[in-house]
């Protein structure tokens, strides 16, 4: 079961609940809104996608079905932007 892992070479700026990430290898910057930031921070190589979705429901008081769908969508985007690996 995939346990996504955030990349550790990124420069991280935390601003309120949002994150700005700078990738020095690709020279690209990213803004993650609060929910995306939360998901990215749970990508520690220990949590499965389902576990991250469960944490999202606890944190943001959202229905599990929506959380699963949005977690999957967010992880897909984070993967595409090379901000996580599949661990």
Partner 1 sequence: MGDRQWHHYQIGVTRLRLASVVEEIITHFDYLYRQFRVTDSGPDALWLEVAALRPKPWSRTQYIVRSSGREFFAGHETGSIIPELEFALNQQTILRNPQYLIYHSAAMEFEGQGVLLPADSGTGKTTLTTYLLARGWRYLSDELGVVDPQTWMLHPYPKAPCIKAEGLALIEQLGLTVYPHDGFRLRDKRQRFYISPTQLGRQAIAPAVPLRHIIFLGRGQVPGPYVEQFSTAESTMYLYRTSVNPMAHREQGLARAIDLVQHCNVWAMALGDHAATCPFLEALLAEHDHHPVAPQANPTIKVYQPAEPLCETS
Contacting positions for partner 1 (CB under 8 A): 11, 13, 15-20, 22, 24, 27-36, 39, 59-62, 66, 69-70, 73-74, 77-78, 81, 83
Closest to partner 1 by CB, 46 vs 76, is 76
Q: How far is the CB of 82 from partner 1 (least distance, A)?
A: 10
Q: Measured from the CB of residue 40, what is the shortest distance to partner 1 in angstroms? A: 8
Distance, CA of 18 to CA of 58 (rounded, Å): 18
Counting Cα atoms < 13 Å in the Cβ hemisphere of 19 gives 18
Q: Which residues contact 16 (CB under 8 A, 6 or more apart)?
A: 34
Least separation, in Å, of the C-beta of 18 and partner 1? 4
Which of 18, 62, 54, 21 has the alpha carbon at shortest distance from 38? 18
């Amino acid at each position: 079961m995939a346990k996504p892992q955030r990349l550790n070479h990124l420069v991280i700026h935390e601003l309120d609940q949002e994150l700005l990430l700078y990738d020095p290898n690709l020279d690209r910057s990213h803004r993650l809104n609060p929910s995306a930031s939360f998901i990215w921070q749970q990508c520690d190589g220990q949590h499965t996608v389902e576990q991250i979705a469960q944490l999202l429901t606890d944190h943001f008081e959202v229905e599990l079905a929506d959380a699963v769908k949005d977690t999957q969508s967010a992880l897909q985007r984070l993967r595409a932007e090379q901000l996580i690996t599949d661990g």
